[in-house]
Amino acid sequence: MVAGSGLVTSGALDAGADLLFALNSGFYRSQGSGSFAAFLPYGNANDQTEALLREHLLPRRGRMPVIAGLLVNDPTLALDERLTRLQQLGVEGIVNWPTVGFVDGQFREALEAAGLGTEAEIEMLHRAKAMGFATFGFVVVGDGSASRFARAEVDAMIMGLGLTHEVHDVQERRDHIQHSCTLLNAMLEEVHQTGHSPVCLAFGGPITTPEDLEQLLTHSAIDGFAGGSVFERLPFQSAIVSLVRRFKSLLLRAGDVVHPAGFGPLVGVSDEMLELYRRVERVAPFDVSVYIQGESGSGKELVATQIHRLSSRRHRAFVTLNCGAIPDSLFESELFGHEKGAFTGAHRRRLGKFELAHGGTLFLDEVADLSPHGQVALLRAIQQREITPVGGERPKSVDVRILAASNRPLSQLIDQGGFRADLYYRLNGVTIELPPLRRRLKDIPFLAEHILGRLSVQFKRMVLSLSPDFYAKIIKHDWPGNIRELEHVLTQSIMLEDGPILEGKHFEPVSRRATGAGPPQDDRDIDPLAARRTALRRALRQAGGNKSRAAELLGVTRRTLYAWIRDANLEADPLAESQ
pLDDT digits 0-9 by tens, 316-326: 889 999 998 88
pLDDT level of residue 260 (50, 70, 90 thresholds): very low
What is the mean pLDDT of the segment spanning 462-483? Answer: 86
Please report, as a single letter, which amino acid is at residue 501.
I
Question: Which phi and psi (to 5°) does residue 480 adopt?
Answer: -65, -25
Confidence at residue 475, expressed as pLDDT on a 0 to 100 scale:
87
Where do the CATH 3.20.20.70 domains begin and end in the chain?
Answer: 6-255
Where do the CATH 1.10.8.60 domains begin and end in the chain?
Answer: 438-523
Cα gap 149→151, rounded to integer Å: 5
Q: Say if residue 546's pLDDT is above 70.
A: yes
Confidence at residue 265, expressed as pLDDT on a 0 to 100 scale:
80
Where do the CATH 3.40.50.300 domains begin and end in the chain?
Answer: 271-435
CATH of domain 438-523: 1.10.8.60
pLDDT level of residue 230 (50, 70, 90 thresholds): low
CATH label, 271-435, candidates 2.40.50.1020, 3.20.20.70, 3.40.50.300, 2.60.120.10: 3.40.50.300
Stronger pLDDT, 565 or 152, i.e. the higher one: 152
Topology adopted by domain 6-255: TIM Barrel (3.20.20)
Cα gap 299→435, rounded to integer Å: 9
DSSP secondary structure string for all residues of 400-444: -EEEEEESS-HHHHHHTTSS-HHHHHHH-SEEEEPPPGGG-GGGH
DSSP secondary structure string for all residues of 301-317: HHHHHHHHHTSTTTTS-
Confidence at residue 249, expressed as pLDDT on a 0 to 100 scale:
52
